[in-house]
Structure 1
Amino acid sequence: MTPLPSGFGLVLDRSVRRYRDGRVLVGGQPPRRIRLSDAGRAALADLLAGRAGSPPAMRLARRLVDAGLAHPRPPAAAAGPLDVTVVIPARDRPEALRRCLASLDPATPVVVVDDGSEDPAAVAAVCRDHGARRLHHERSAGPATARNTGVAAATTELIAFLDSDCIADPGWIGRLAGHFADPLVGAVAPRIRPWFLVCGDGWVSRFDQARCALDLGPRESLVGPGRIVPYVPSAALIARRRALPAFDERLLHGEDVDLVWRLNDAGWRVRYDPGVVVEHEEPQTLRALLDRRWRYGTSAAPLARRHPGRFAAVVTRPVPAAAAALLLARRPVAAACLVAAQAAWWQRRLGPAGLPARRTFAWSAQAVGETLVGCGAAATTYAAPLLALGLSRRATRAPAALLLAGAPVVTWVRRRPALDPVRWTLASVCEDVAYGAGVWRACASQRTVDPVRLVFIRRPSPPTGWPGGPSRVRRERARRPAGTPPADARPRRGR
């Protein structure tokens, strides 16, 4: 195992719980359980305190980072200019491009690929005003082709991709570049937050502020299928040139998901660092938001063709699924018995590691709750007509309403957006239905049902996020090459 380089610090993921005086760590996504020796516990304490680690300690740090139990803190980047080129695909919208270029460090080389603009002179004038090199496609070939053209024209060690409708802090590249001190890191992405050209108090803008499709949230993560952050958008992304495969030019949407997963399959680490923020100009009408979600949905089937087994509408386990079904059938006592039985099973396995009974019972109840929310979101997205039929009948009205409103209400409670729950729920349902329509459209054209299938994972395990237990993970890691995601991993819906 390649150790984490000297000079890196370490912080534990917020999901991690320590038991037996810190000798047992449980957490991450997928969940892992790691036992530490006394020497390992002391080494971890040194790393968390910021003290220099020995080679064995840095190997432990690598193991924790790869397991998602900890996150690296790279050393400060060396002073001086970075060996990086910014590649910006653009098509018309010269004012957006002007704002984007004005936000960058003027000392950083920039290549703008004009992908068949109707007014190429306006784009050329903006590039000339900001000292950016301009390349031109006579006809629009899509963002993947434009980025490949920009990469071919660059000669630097790092390539920073930025969309023309983004506004970046001048130091965003420098703040992310420290991650590349780790030789296994192939790409790093910042958090993308929405930005609106016209400021106002529109409810659509307030909705998008809290549910932006490009915003992957505040939790840092190693990126890959089955993790907290399964992919990162190429709207803002820095990659190591020698690690970078070509974007698939056949994909008009989802080409960034495909790229990230191929980086993972090649053994490269991709990191998401939400401490650095890039702003993205967002649509301000509901129709524009729904159109974007529909287009993102059309990428699901082509991606499923390229990455078999990584897409599913719902991934769950039989016991939580059965308990959720009993709750929908208004049999709470039977559901509670199942929850208690699963909690007892987990306690028998994990109690010797020091986990208290209340924790295993909470995990069991959480698994049922997440299954209900996930099934509700999937039913809204892929089977909205059936939910509408259920709402029209008295016998099925309550469970249909629970499935329809469950996911939006839970999200509203967690995020507390500046929007009332009624409009939040209606807009969330509309977005999910639009995404599902795009998925079904693509499934029909690609002749596949992979993105809309239900997947059961048979072996139960503690649900720290989506279930995927410690013993199962250990077996998979022994069977598969480093960096290869598990076969049943699922991406978060959104791209």
Structure 2
Amino acid sequence: MFGGAPPRMLRLARAARDLLAADGTCTVADEASARLARALVDAGMAHPVAVPDGDVPSACDVTVVVPVKDRADGLRRLLAALPGGLGGVIVVDDGSVDADGVGGVADAAGARVLRHERPLGPAAARNAGLAAATTALVAFLDSDVVPLPGWLEPLLALFADPAVGLAAPRIVALPPGPLSRIDGLLARYEAVRSSLDLGPDPALVVPRSRVAYVPSAAVLVRRTAVGPGFDDGMRVAEDVDLVLRMHEAGWRLRYEPAARVEHDHRTTPAAWWLRKAYYGTGAAPLAVAHPGSVPPMVLSPWSAAVGALVLVGTPWSAAAAVAVSAAAAQRLARKLPVRRPRATAARLIAMGAVGTVAQTADGVTRHYWPVSLAACLLSRRARRTVAAVAVAEGIVDWWRHRGRDASVRPGLLGHLVAHRLDDLAYGTGLWWGALRHRTTEPLRPVGTGS
């Protein structure tokens, strides 16, 4: 079996293979099937699809914590969407100017109100609610989200597994009104390409994998797993920091897109661009606190060579990239204990090469765009290469994401422009954060050693 998070190969014994049904499912019926299910789920090669009802926590085991600052209308909308039967709702007013307005909305909904006299940040507000909660599970919901009906049940089911410490829903765009459609270039782009939307497929949340983090805008945690909670010294990326700490502590973290929460995305140009740049500034403190966990690129020696050769952009460099890939496939084939090692190795190397090209394109247009700009000022070939990469990567990105929201049909040109601005904003924040923290750690690629 190939897959997982991070990707790996597992060789199943015949007894284990016999426990898998024809459709690839494994039903836990005894100790052997339980061990197999645990191994596959913990490796990210399988996802739980059903658990006995008696093992699943209920809504009364959940306290919802809402940090808010001067967003009474959003708070009212959120509280009205919460299901009944919850173990409690705590609203933490983080120094709102209109404290009476926020308090009045919370009181009308029967929520408990905690107040910070001055703003301490969303991490500190969530921690205050966490400390006041007494239920086994705590759901953090920001005041700009609206949980859709049925959002809680798929998350609760995951906590039937005692190893799960955190579960997160999919965050999608909030339409502007009951009968409105998402419109405007940035609104359409965010509906299919938001940094908060981690896609339609369930996943184990693991650093340096497809789903490496989950946003704290909507997340359900086991109270005993998070300790004191978020790092309240961080004003950005505190959610990624929590994920990394929980992963290091051995907890299983899951992303479940069957649970859906709508988010009121920023779509005015200045606010949107500054928010993207703000996200980028979080890479530096994360890289310092968790070295190697949030790299801009993850490359093996052969894939780094392929990426460099692709950027050269000449016929001989393309031929050399193919030769390097072929050599890597031959080397891998000698190590694979499978029936058709050469064909399997060729497929794996081809998949790796595609990933390498994608990472290289991201590096050119996103993480290292100041370097790309400097190269363009000095070289005509560099200008052609960067332009080709920017256009080609944008087209591929539009094609991959264009169907994420069935109500939105983003145009290619608009998506391409927004995507390039998105990358410029994040890269700007990334470099600014690195300069402000006086570190190159968030700019360093890491190697896999193979």
Fold similarity call, TM over 0.5 = yes
RMSD: 2.1
Partner of 1:5: none
Q: How does 1:350-429 map to 2 (within 5 A)?
A: 350=336, 352-355=337-340, 357-391=342-376, 393-416=379-402, 418-429=409-420
Q: Is this contact kept in 2: 1:318–1:458, CA < 8 A?
A: yes
1:389 deviates by 4.5
Structure 1 residues 21-32: aligned runs within 5 Å: 25-32=1-8
Report if aligned partners of 1:189, 1:232 keep a CA contact under 8 Å in 2. Answer: yes
Q: How does 1:477-488 map to 2 (within 5 A)?
A: none
TM-score, scaled relative to structure 2: 0.91
Counterpart pick for 1:186 among 150, 155, 165: 165
Which residues in structure 2 correspond to 1:194-205 (within 5 Å)? 194-197=173-176, 199=180, 200-205=182-187
Is the contact made by 1:189 and 1:238 (CA closer than 8 Å) also made in structure 2? yes
Contact 2:28 2:37 in 1 (8 A): no
Q: SS of the residue aligned with 2:113?
A: strand
Q: Distance in 1 between matches of 2:263 and 2:104?
A: 23
User: Secondary structure in 1 aligned to 2:92?
Assistant: strand
CA change 1:196–1:284 in 2 (3 A) is farther
Distance 1:346 1:253, change over 3 A: same
The letter for the 1-side match of 2:352 is A
- CA distance in 2 between counterparts of 1:273 and 1:236 reads 12
Q: Which runs of 5+ in 1 are unaligned?
A: 1-24, 460-495
Contact kept? 1:114, 1:123, Cα under 8 Å:
yes
> Equivalent residue for 1:124?
103
Say yes or no: does 1:33 pair with 2:18: no
1:452 equivalent in alignment to 2:443: yes
- The residue number in structure 1 matching 2:232 is 249
Find the partner of 1:177 among 156, 161, 172. 156
Q: Could you tell me which of 61, 64, 81 is aligned with 2:37?
A: 61
1:215 aligns with 2:197: yes
Which residue does the alignment assign to 2:130? 151
In the alignment, the residues of structure 2 paired with residue 68 and residue 30 of structure 1 have an alpha-carbon distance, to the nearest angstrom, of: 8
Residue type matched to 1:397 in 2?
R
Q: 1 CA distance for matches of 2:10 and 2:367?
A: 38
Q: Deviations over 1:289-340 (max 9, x none)?
A: 2111111111111111211121322211222222232233212222222222
- 1:296 alignment partner in structure 2: 279
- Aligned identity (percent) is 42
Letter in 2 for 1:372: V
Aligned positions of 1:330-341 closer than 5 A: 330=314, 331=316, 332-341=318-327
Q: CA deviation at 1:419?
A: 2.4
Q: Which residue of 2 aligns with 1:327?
A: 310
Deviation at 1:433, TM superposition (A): 1.3
Q: Distance in 2 between matches of 1:385 and 1:156?
A: 48
Match of 2:142 among 154, 163, 166: 163
Residue in 2 aligned with 1:477? none
Task: Provide the C-alpha distance between the structure 1 equivalents of 2:47 and 2:362, rounded to a whole number of angstroms.
Answer: 30
Alpha-carbon distance between aligned partners in 2 of 1:49 and 1:30, rounded to the nearest angstrom:
21
Q: 3-state SS of the aligned residue for 1:304?
A: helix
CA contact (8 A) 2:28 2:34 kept: no
Aligned counterparts of 1:324 and 1:261: Cα–Cα separation in 2: 28
* Distance (Å, rounded) in 1 between the aligned partners of 2:210 and 2:428: 25
SS at match of 1:43: coil
Between the aligned partners of 1:201 and 1:249, the Cα distance in structure 2 is 36
Aligned mates of 2:348, 2:13 — CA distance in 1: 26
CA deviations on 1:38-68 (whole Å, 9 max, x unpaired) are: 2111123399556442102111111111111
Distance 1:58 1:254 in 2: 36
| Cα distance in 2, alignment partners of residues 356 and 349 from structure 1 | 8
Q: Distance in 1 between matches of 2:197 and 2:183?
A: 20
Aligned equivalent of 2:406: none
1:72 corresponds, among 44, 48, 53, to 48
- SS in structure 2 of the partner of residue 102 of structure 1: helix
Shift of 1:124: 1.2
Q: CA distance change for structure 1 residues 395 and 188 in 2, over 3 Å: closer, same or farther?
A: closer
The one of 84, 88, 96 equivalent to 1:106 is 84
Change (3 A) 1:407 1:76: farther
Q: CA deviation at 1:189?
A: 0.8
SS in 2 for 1:181: coil
Is 1:134 the counterpart of 2:113 in the alignment? yes
Aligned mates of 1:209, 1:95 — CA distance in 2: 22
* Partner of residue 93, structure 1: 71
- Residues 52, 364 of structure 1: alpha-carbon distance in 2 compared, 3 angstrom cutoff: closer
Distance, in Å, in 2 between the alignment partners of 1:95 and 1:367 is: 47
| 3-state secondary structure, aligned to 1:182 | coil
Paired AA for residue 244 in structure 1 = V
Amino acid at match of 1:431: D
Distance change in 2, residues 1:356/1:308 (3 Å): closer
Shift in Å, 1:267? 1.1
Aligned residues: 434
